Amino acid sequence: MFGSGAVGGGAARAVGDGTAFTQPTLDSLGTPLSEVTFCVVDLETTGLAADACGITEIGAVKVKGGEVLGEFGTLVNPGESIDPRVTRLTGITDAMVADAPGIESVLPAFLEFARGATLVAHNAGFDIGFLRHACELTDTRWPRPPVIDTVVLARRLTEKSEVPNRRLGTLARLFGSPVTPNHRALDDARATVTVLHGLIERAGGHGVVTDAELVEFCRAIPSELQRRKRHLADGLPHSPGVYIFRDADDRALYIGVSVDVAARVRSYFSAAEQRRRLRDMLASAERVEVIECAHRLEAGVAELRLISGGKPPYNRAAKFPEHRSWVRLTDEPYPRLQVSRKPPEPGAPRLGPTSGTTAQAAIGAIEAALPIRSCRTRLSVSRLSPSCVLGEIGKCAEPCRHTVTVEEYAAIAERAARAMDGDPAPVAEAVAERLAELSEAERFEAAAERRDELGAYLALAAASHRVRDLVAAGEIVGAGRAKGGGWEVAVIRYGLLAGAVKTPPRADPMPYIARLRATARAVDPVPDAADAAHAAETRLLLEWLARPDVRIVMTEHPWASRLDGAERWDGTVPHDPSPWRRDKGERLPHTGTL
């Protein structure tokens, strides 16, 4: 047992080699958890990327010794529209945040509320990432508080036998939270408080009694392999680009992208990298190749092309665009809709590319609305074929029995083509009527199936039309604000990135744009995406063009959505099928000189 001098004052004693050993004081071991003030925070946002989305709600609960000291909750005006999918998840609408304060006034109040506390969040990287980015946007100093992630704690302190996953709702049920998480910030923060207390109680069984020990308990130790391979990150540039881990035979193992390549590659050799797949990759990695890019958009496109072209074994997403599916009409006297991995000829009616499941669901919606045949029999114009029940109940025109001529059936196929490339209203209205009939008959499972098919069809049609509209616009020059000043410029030709440049701060960007257009890659004109890789790149460019800070400098041909196109429902099941305008020219008004 130590004497009072050793415990309270850090007294020195001699060790065998004559050097002094200083006994740690209680202060150096951390603060007892019962005396630590925790600020449990949760955010709701317009999307997942902190550098491209805004905060819509902040909720926080400050606790100490198991007692609530105070709560903080407010909606935040993000300065941008909220994605309808996010609204369906959180219930937060544009109207709800229209009169809410902006982050520039909410952030100082929250930081004052949390001052001196240890921040706690469920999946803390997400919430802290948004808060740090908000500090950058408002020129506010980030106070660098200690951070505890309840997801990390739960992985250390719960077993798969008691919880199937570490989602907040699952853990809240496990620890008996009186508040059910509902994707609203303050309620989720309250639920996280219960989870935190339950996890701290379990951590005590591992000898964790102070805040310093809790932080250390959360911190995984880098493997010996990671420490040994750390030199691979030496000398890499702090700039946007693509990084490629290569093995001794110079084969690409893994391809990634970052706005700061050096920082991102270093993270693979830290305690934060716990993915077994990537640790296995590091065992074979011998060097890291970097392709520097003008800005993050060019880097993202380069990554997409390299992954689909090289098929690195440790990448998963975007590796096999050729495995994506299309909805197309067969080439025969009595065409039918089919799911195919072979892209239709440019300009031919099509939906996609997408997953095979979504493609089949979209076909189900069209077949429910039109008497087009669904059988796979190759029908003859000279002899009859066996019929099926769909013809008997009037759901098929029965070309198998020659009840329609080739010309009459061609009119049905033309309606199916228009359902893919034109106005989806006939399909949407027909399926909506069927939904009403099924609901009235209380056939709710069948109604849900039809609803899902219609939703898949409308979402796929909207995505396909957006791709086609951008490709058909020919050349488009866009420019987005760059951090630190200047512009990130992209020349897009027929849905492909043809050139990119970042202009210097305070410089006139137009001469740089003129030079870029003159030297950008030539792209052959096409009316639609040639294949799935082309469509994937076009969709990436569409996401960039939709950012609120991106200006359209010029377009070769008009770029707008049709008034009768699928985008008027924006991929949602229509409750009121009346059309509404979605004009990109109105949404992106900044054109011409920058």
Summarised one tens digit per residue, pLDDT across range 365-380 is 999 999 999 998 889 8
214 — pLDDT class (breaks 50, 70, 90):
confident
User: Residue 1: what pLDDT?
Assistant: 25
Going across the sheet that includes 37-45, the strands are: 67-75, 55-64, 37-45, 118-121, 147-149
The bridge status of strand 475-481 relative to strand 351-354 is unpaired
Is the pLDDT confidence value at 3 over 80? no
User: Residue 569: what pLDDT?
Assistant: 66
Q: For 393-398, what is the mean pLDDT?
A: 81
Q: Which two tokens stand for residue 107?
A: 């952030």
Q: What Å distances lie between residue 54 and 104, 143, 587, CA to CA? A: 12, 20, 18
Give catalytic status of residue 206 as yes or no: no
Asked if residues 472 and 527 have their Cβ atoms less than 8 Å apart, the reply is yes
Using the structure block, give the residue that is written with the tokens 């008009």: 558
The CB-side HSE value for 174 (13 A sphere, CA atoms) comes to 23
User: Residue 572: what pLDDT?
Assistant: 53
* Residue predicted with more confidence, 215 or 249: 249
Q: For 139-153, what is the mean pLDDT?
A: 92
Query: Which residues are within 8 A (CB) of 305 and not within 5 positions of it... i.e. 6 or more apart?
Result: 533, 537
Q: Which two tokens stand for residue 109?
A: 């109040």
Summarised one tens digit per residue, pLDDT across range 277-330 is 888 899 899 999 999 999 999 999 999 999 999 999 999 888 899 999 999 999
| Torsion angle of C-alpha atoms 417, 423, 429, 435, degrees rounded to 10 | 60
Using the structure block, give the residue that is written with the tokens 């109940």: 393
CATH of domain 33-218: 3.30.420.10
The CB-side HSE value for 161 (13 A sphere, CA atoms) comes to 0
Is the pLDDT confidence value at 96 over 50? yes
If DSSP codes are grouped into helix, strand and coil, which group holds residue 286?
coil
User: Residue 6: what pLDDT?
Assistant: 27
What is the separation, in whole angstroms, between the first and last Cα of the chain? 74
Calpha distance 71→59 (Å, rounded): 8
Asked if residues 590 and 442 have their Cβ atoms less than 8 Å apart, the reply is no
18 — pLDDT class (breaks 50, 70, 90):
very low
CB atoms closer than 10 angstroms to residue 524: 8
193 — pLDDT class (breaks 50, 70, 90):
very high
| The length of the chain, given as a count of residues | 594
Q: Where do the CATH 3.30.420.10 domains begin and end in the chain?
A: 33-218
Q: Which two tokens stand for residue 351?
A: 């939906």
Is the pLDDT confidence value at 257 over 80? yes
User: Of 303, 309, 304, whose CA–CA distance to 291 is shortest?
Assistant: 303
* Residue predicted with more confidence, 25 or 255: 255
Active-site option among 122, 133, 183, 206: 183
499 — pLDDT class (breaks 50, 70, 90):
very high
User: Residue 561: what pLDDT?
Assistant: 76
Asked if residues 82 and 92 have their Cβ atoms less than 8 Å apart, the reply is yes
Q: Which amino acid is at 593?
A: T
Q: For 570-574, what is the mean pLDDT?
A: 52
Is the pLDDT confidence value at 250 over 80? yes
Summarised one tens digit per residue, pLDDT across range 552-564 is 999 999 998 777 7
8 — pLDDT class (breaks 50, 70, 90):
very low
Calpha distance 444→465 (Å, rounded): 31
Calpha distance 171→152 (Å, rounded): 12
CB atoms closer than 10 angstroms to residue 114: 21
Summarised one tens digit per residue, pLDDT across range 326-370 is 999 999 999 999 999 999 988 899 999 999 999 999 999 999 999
Segment among 203-207, 457-461, 489-493 with least mean pLDDT? 203-207
Q: Average pLDDT, whole number, for the chain? A: 87
Alpha carbon 375 to its chain centroid, in Å, reads 37
Tell me which of 1.10.10.10, 3.40.1440.10, 1.10.10.60, 2.30.33.40 is the CATH number of domain 224-319. 3.40.1440.10
| Torsion angle of C-alpha atoms 330, 333, 334, 340, degrees rounded to 10 | -10
Q: Which amino acid is at 358?
A: T
Q: Where do the CATH 3.40.1440.10 domains begin and end in the chain?
A: 224-319
Q: What Å distances lie between residue 42 and 37, 101, 126, 158, CA to CA? A: 17, 18, 9, 22
Q: For 199-207, what is the mean pLDDT?
A: 87
Calpha distance 61→199 (Å, rounded): 17
Calpha distance 275→256 (Å, rounded): 15
Summarised one tens digit per residue, pLDDT across range 427-465 is 999 999 999 999 999 999 999 999 999 999 999 999 999
Calpha distance 480→551 (Å, rounded): 6
Positive or negative torsion for Cα 495, 500, 505, 510: negative
Asked if residues 306 and 242 have their Cβ atoms less than 8 Å apart, the reply is yes
188 — pLDDT class (breaks 50, 70, 90):
very high
Calpha distance 117→133 (Å, rounded): 20
